[in-house]
A and B are shown apart, each in its own frame.
Chain A
């Protein structure tokens, strides 16, 4: 994985000093909250219902053991012994004291981590495929390109006051595990007919209150011009994106209002101009970065045999383990979705354990996924059983990857000042209702996603089943949506009809899954049956 050189280290260290200075000025009353707000937001510090919330960047979701252990340390020292992994492969702490944040950031910097641009109207942390470098279906590892973009976008002088926040995702396979087309810019690294690497650009996707799927903007940008093409898009957006209404300020609205064709014309003109401006690093720089992502020292001649005699292990193996590109290895997902737990939360002790397992079993690398789980990307098949035993002891072996209880949920009204309704208790009730693992497996792949308000942090638009918390005459109410997807079959979910109470929504989910089970044809997932039949039979069952 990427390792900082003295330049990268100096950049994060400088940021820590700068923020220390800003916090001191704030505490001394030299900065008003209004003046301080945009500065703290550039450092991922939000003021929430009960306390400051700090979001720490995990670039393209990749961590080593030492970094994971630091995340545990921070939870223990500065927070209440736990933290929350987010849908953008970051981590959030909920109970942070302002005066302690400079020390916290200095601790992070000591392991090459930071909270730079994790909030604010700037280019945010860049997300990627959690199976990068391990999946059999990728053209190449997408992360070096994400790293190149990370450096370019850090402290970008022109794009630090955009109309609105700006999110990139970079993938390099046809299977989309990063909801790429639901980002402001989605990039798929591809190979053209001549075998050259390049970038396919999508722009103008997003969730929030007006969800949109990003249209294709350019099929192939030569890899040496990746950054200048991104710069061209950002400049068009910075100049023309709406600033009169923050709900219409995302790039998706600009692309939509301008029309993709006109938008592309503007971008191409800007790109032509920028090609003469020496924006892109030389090939040697990309090669330098790529060298950091070379394969670890995989052993050869390993067996693919796995002893399945322990039935509980076999269930986990079938559900949470994915094929690796190398014989004898596998990709294992640690579920942060135990029944009754809080989706994406991990305790300090669990993070410490995951750090140990990362070092012991996975060449010192782990990943955060956009569905709020942790991946060990390079585990020897022969080690899977002992890995599972250790996870099981720590309550980290829920065999529910991609099943109905593998729920994505935002913090909701329990923490978030923008929320209309609680998300966490609803997720917990649903997971309890469907706790029986045989029943979950019987329902098959089912992506359930919950947001506590229209901002859609919980990706409800992209759920096979989505739940949206709304405020109805002062009481919490939940709308049900069906048919979304954030994968390569990307689609936006549709609302079924009138909303439900907290218990009503759990019943409603059971109703729609019953319709599916009764109507499905061979091999159909929930979302396939929905797409074949449409909304009517589900509506009929829900509202009669």
Chain B
């Protein structure tokens, strides 16, 4: 667990994440893992009992997980949302914007590099899942 970067104040979920298939068989699980191609919408009815959702990135160029994350947040999920797999420092800022608040990169990311990457963009052009005010909103305050 040393490689995990976490941006939450609550304690980490202890429970191992189960696959989507076993989640549906095992109605008491509170942590689940989605693979790139799996449909996040299937989890919508269960969001309030989930403490952790892990989304796997098999390759950094496969961006389906970004949509999955936003969909979960847009439907009110407030638990931990973790990006696992081929997660690189230059992707962290985008992932945060899509609602991820924890990261389990396959290759460890240096904490100082991560901090720098996340601090770089002071402004954003869009509304997304991180609650940041877009430039268009600031312009008309």
Please report A residues at the B interface, Cβ cutoff 8 Å.
Answer: 5, 7-8, 10-11, 14, 17-18, 22, 35, 38-39, 121, 151-152, 154-162, 235, 238-239, 243, 273, 277-279, 281-282, 284-285, 288
Given the complex, which residues of A lie within 8 Å of B94, measured CB to CB? 155, 157-158, 160
Contact B126 A7 (CB under 8 A): no
Please give me the residue from chain A that is nearest to B61 by CB atom.
A161
User: Which listed residue, B62, B91, B121, B140, touches A243 by the CB 8 Å rule?
Assistant: B62
Looking at the assembled complex, report how far the CB atom of A233 sits from the nearest CB atom of chain B, in whole angstroms: 12
Would you give the 0/1 interface string for B121-141, flagging 1 where the beta carbon is closer than 8 Å to chain A? 111111110000011111110
Of the candidates A18, A161, A238, the one whose C-beta lies within 8 Å of that of B120 is A18
Task: With A14-B121, A35-B88 as known contacts, state yes or no: A285 contacts B136, CB within 8 Å.
Answer: yes
CB-CB under 8 A for A159 and B63, given A282-B140, A285-B140? yes
Contacts beyond the supplied A14-B120, A157-B128, A288-B139: 4 A-B pairs with Cβ under 8 Å: A11-B123, A11-B125, A158-B63, A161-B62
Query: Which of B's residues lie within 8 Å of A, judged by CB?
Result: 39, 60-64, 66-68, 70, 74, 88, 90-91, 93-95, 97-98, 120-128, 134-140
Closest A residue to B90 using CB positions: A39
A157, A273, A282: the one within 8 Å of B126 (CB): A157
In the bound complex, CA of A282 to CA of B140 (Å): 9
Tell whether, in the assembled complex, residue B63 and residue A279 are in contact, meaning their CB atoms are under 8 Å apart.
no
Of B66, B124, B140, the residue contacting A161 (CB under 8 A) is B66
Are B125 and A279 closer than 8 Å at their CB atoms?
no
For B62, the chain A residues whose CB sits under 8 A away are 161, 243
For the complex, give the distance between the alpha carbons of A18 and B113 in Å. Answer: 12
> Which chain A positions have C-beta within 8 A of B127?
277-279
Task: Across the interface, name the chain A residue whose C-beta is closest to B57.
Answer: A161
Contact A7 B60, beta carbon cutoff 8 Å: no
Residues of A within 8 A of B123 (CB): 7, 10-11
- Listed residue (B60, B126, B140) with the most chain A CB atoms within 10 angstroms of its CB: B126
| CB atoms of B64 and A238 under 8 A apart | yes
Q: Which residue of B lies closest to A227 (CB)?
A: B126
- Contact B126 A161, beta carbon cutoff 8 Å: no
Q: Are B61 and A38 in contact (CB-based, < 8 A)? A: yes
Residues of A contacting B64 with CB < 8 Å?
238-239, 243
Q: Which residues of B contact A277 (CB under 8 A)?
A: 74, 127
Docked-complex contact A154 and B120, CB < 8 angstroms:
no
- The reply to whether B74 and A273 contact each other, CB–CB distance below 8 Å, is yes
A-B contact pairs, 14 of them (CB 8 A): A5-B139, A7-B123, A14-B121, A14-B122, A121-B63, A155-B124, A158-B67, A158-B70, A158-B94, A158-B128, A159-B63, A239-B67, A243-B64, A277-B74
A257 to chain B, nearest CB (A): 16
With both chains docked as a complex, state the minimum distance between the C-beta of B86 and any C-beta of chain A, in angstroms: 11
Q: Tell me whether A161 and B128 are in contact (CB under 8 A).
A: no
Closest CB-CB distance, B110 to chain A, in whole Å? 10
Q: In the complex, A8→B123 CA distance in Å?
A: 9
Residues in chain B near residue A154, CB distance under 8 A: 125
Most chain A CB neighbours (cut-off 10 Å) among B91, B95, B134: B134
Question: Nearest chain A CB to B111's CB is how many angstroms away?
Answer: 16
Interface of chain A: mostly helix, strand, loop or mixed:
helix
Instruction: Tell me, in angstroms, the Cα distance from A160 to B74 when the chains sit together.
Output: 19
* Nearest 10 pairs of A and B residues by beta carbon: A161-B63, A157-B97, A281-B136, A157-B94, A285-B136, A7-B135, A158-B66, A151-B125, A238-B67, A284-B140
Q: How far is the CA of A278 from the CA of B90 in the complex (A)?
A: 27
CA distance A151 to B127 in the complex (A): 12
A10–B122 contact, CB under 8 A?
yes
- Is the beta-carbon distance between A121 and B139 smaller than 8 angstroms? no
Q: Is the CB of A156 within 8 A of B63?
A: no
Cα of A346 to Cα of B70 in the assembled complex, Å: 45
Say whether B60 contacts A38, CB under 8 Å: yes
CA distance A288 to B122 in the complex (A): 22
Contact B66 A157 (CB under 8 A): yes
A157–B66 Cα distance when bound, in Å, is 8
Residue of B with least CB distance to A234:
B67
Max count, chain A CB within 10 A of own CB: residue among B88, B136, B140 = B136
Nearest CB in chain A: distance from B88 CB, A: 7
**A239: chain B residues within 8 A (beta carbon):** 39, 64, 67-68
Is the beta-carbon distance between B138 and A7 smaller than 8 angstroms? Answer: yes
Give Cα A39–Cα B61 distance, bound, in whole angstroms.
11
Closest residue of B by beta carbon distance from A273: B74
Nearest CB of chain A from residue B101's CB, rounded to whole Å: 14
Measured CA separation A301–B114 after assembly (Å): 62
Contact: B125 with A158, CB < 8 Å? Answer: no
Q: Which residue of chain B has the shortest Cβ distance to A278 in the bound complex?
A: B127
The residue on B at minimum CB distance from A289 is: B136
Which A residue sits closest to B64, measured CB to CB?
Answer: A239
Determine which of B39, B63, B68, B136 lies in contact with A151 in the assembled complex, contact meaning CB atoms within 8 Å. Answer: B136
Q: Is A157 a contact partner of B136 (Cβ separation < 8 A)?
A: no
Residues on B with C-beta less than 8 A from A22 are 90
- Nearest CB of chain B from residue A359's CB, rounded to whole Å: 29
Contact A7 B63 (CB under 8 A): no
Q: How far is the CB of A386 from chain B (nearest CB, A)?
A: 42
CA distance A160 to B70 in the complex (A): 14
Q: How far is the CA of A288 from the CA of B93 in the complex (A)?
A: 29
Q: Once the chains bind, are B66 and A121 in contact (CB under 8 Å)?
A: no
Are B139 and A156 in contact (CB-based, < 8 A)? no
| Interchain CA distance A235-B68 in the complex, whole Å | 10
Contact partners of B138 in chain A: CB under 8 A = 7
Inter-chain contact B63/A160, CB cutoff 8 Å: yes
Of all chain A residues, the one with the shortest Cβ separation from B37 is A243
A210 to B97, CA, bound (A): 35
B67 contact set on A, CB distance < 8 A: 158, 235, 238-239
Chain A residues with CB under 8 Å of B91's CB are 161
B126 close to A156 (CB less than 8 A) = yes
